[in-house]
Amino acid sequence: MKKKFKVVIGKCLLVGSVLLAVQACKEEELVFPSQSEQEVVVSEKRPTARPSSLTYIFAFNQNVEIYFPQLSDRVTKATITYTDGTEKKLELTKFEEPVIIHLSEYKSYDFAIQYFTKDGTSSKVTTTVLKPLPYEVKYKLDNIQSEPIDGGVKFTFPKTLDRSLKYTITYTVEGEQRTKNVEGAAVESITIDKLLDETKPISFKLTIADAELKVEASKVIEQAPGALAEFTDRSNWIATVSDSQIDDGGGAQALIDNDITSFWHSQYDPSVPFPHWFKIDFGKARFISKIGMIRRSGASNGFIQYDLETSLDGITFTKVASNLSFDPTNSNWQYYILPKITNGRYIRVTMTKPKDAGDDFTHLGEFKAFGY
C-alpha cells in the first residue's frame, strides 16, 4: 500500500510544477506558475515526468534525480543552482535523461531552476526545497531498535529496500570476542543469544555494508541482555540426595516442588558427616547458565560452601566451580551464574562446609535452574 512521506519504503517521487515555454505577444518570455503543493509518493518504478512538471526522485543514496517533461522546442537550456559547501550551477541542454545530483549531507537543500530560449530569453526562477534520503546503511543504523530478550539481545531494523546488505555484529563477553554475520535482503532483525549475565551491559558494534554502492556504516550500542529463562516445567525432573532424614521436611523432591516452605534435610539420626549432595535430573539435556537456591525457611544454619558439577549421563561429572559461597542467614534467593553455558542433563550440588563448626547436618528449601 502506498503512503505519504515520513518513512519511505522504496524510491520517492517529488513533483514540482514547472510551466513550459509560452509566447507572450511581442516580449517572448518563459513564465513559471506559482509552486504547487508537493507530494511524496512511494514507488519502486522510475517515473515518466508529467507534461507540465519536473519529477524528483530519491533513493537511499543521498542522490536527487530530476526528470524533465517533454519541453517546447523553444527551450534550449536549463540551469539548476544549489549550494552544497559552495554554490554549484548545472547547465543542461539535453533533457531526455535524468539529471543525477549527489549531495554530501542528509539535509534540506534549496534548488533554483530556470529555462532559457535560444536567444537568451529566460523564464522566471522556480525554487524548491529537496531533502535526499541518506544511504540505506546509515538510515537503518540511525533508526535501529535494541531490546533485551531471554538470555540475549534483539536488534530490529527499519524496513527499506529489498536489497542484499551485509550485517556484522561484534561484541566481547568474559574476554572472548564474538562475531555474528548475516547477509541478505529484507533483514528485519538479528538476535544475539547465549548471553549469561543480565546485570552487565554489553558493547555491540554493528556494521552494515552495501556492496553495490560500496559504502558501509557502523554504530556502537550498549545493551544489557535479558535474564535467561527459568526452567519452569519440572514435570520430568527427578531429585536424588546423598542422604535424607526420614519424616523431616519432605525429602529430595521438596527441593523441586515449587514450595519454599518445604525442605530437604540431611540425615542426622544417626548423623552423617559432610559432604552432603543433591542431584537433579532434568529429564533431557539442557543448556544451563545459572542456578538459584533458597535456604530452609526460618533456619539460619546449614552449609556455607559447595561445589557444582554437571553431567550428560549421570555418571561422569564435570566440575563447574569449587568452594562457592552460600549464606544461610539470607532469606532471599541466592544465584550463581556459570562461567559459561554448559550442556548437561544432570546437575549436582555438593555441600562441603557447615556454617557452625561441629555440625554434621545441612538442609535446603528449593532449587531452580536457568538456560534454554
Q: Give per-residue pLDDT as tens, 188-246.
A: 999 998 887 888 899 999 999 999 999 999 999 999 999 888 999 999 999 999 999 99
Model confidence at 150, in pLDDT bands (50, 70, 90)?
Answer: confident
pLDDT range class, residue 47, cuts 50, 70, 90: low
Is pLDDT above 80 for 29?
A: no
CA–CA separation, 115 vs 80, rounded Å? 9
One domain for residues 340 and 323: yes
One domain, residues 78 and 189 = no
The pLDDT value recorded for residue 26 is 28
Are residue 150 and residue 115 in the same domain, yes or no? Answer: no
Q: Which backbone phi and psi does 138 adopt, to 5 degrees?
A: -75, -40
Confidence at residue 72, expressed as pLDDT on a 0 to 100 scale? 82
| Predicted local confidence at residue 228, as pLDDT | 83
Residue 133, amino acid? L
> d(Cα 261, Cα 274) in Å, to the nearest integer?
24
Average pLDDT over the chain, rounded to an integer:
87
Is 229 within the bounds of a domain? no
Same domain for 181 and 259, yes or no, is no
In a domain, 231, yes or no: no
| Same-domain status, 151 and 270 | no
Q: Which residue has the cell 506558475?
A: 33
Say yes or no to pLDDT of 83 above 60. Answer: yes
Is 285 part of a structural domain of the chain?
yes
Lowest mean pLDDT among 9-13, 149-153, 301-305: 9-13
Shared domain check, 264 and 161:
no
- Give the end of a domain, one of 164, 192, 223: 223
* pLDDT value at residue 31: 38
Beta strand extents in 123-249 (DSSP E only): 126-130, 145-149, 152-156, 164-173, 176-185, 189-192, 202-210, 215-223, 238-241
301: alpha, beta or left? (left if phi > 0; alpha if psi -120 to 50) = beta
| Residue 14: all three cell numbers together | 517529488
CATH code where residue 58 lies: 2.60.40.10
Number of domains in the chain: 3
In a domain, 3, yes or no: no
One domain for residues 110 and 140: no
Q: Give the per-residue pLDDT at 71.
A: 83
Indicate if 324 and 249 belong to the same structural domain.
yes
Question: If you ran DSSP here, which 8-state letter would residue 142 be given?
Answer: H
Least confident of 5-19, 86-100, 272-286, 342-356: 5-19
Percent of the chain whose pLDDT exceeds 70: 86
The whole domain housing 365 covers: 238-371
Residues 6+ apart with CB under 8 A from 233: none
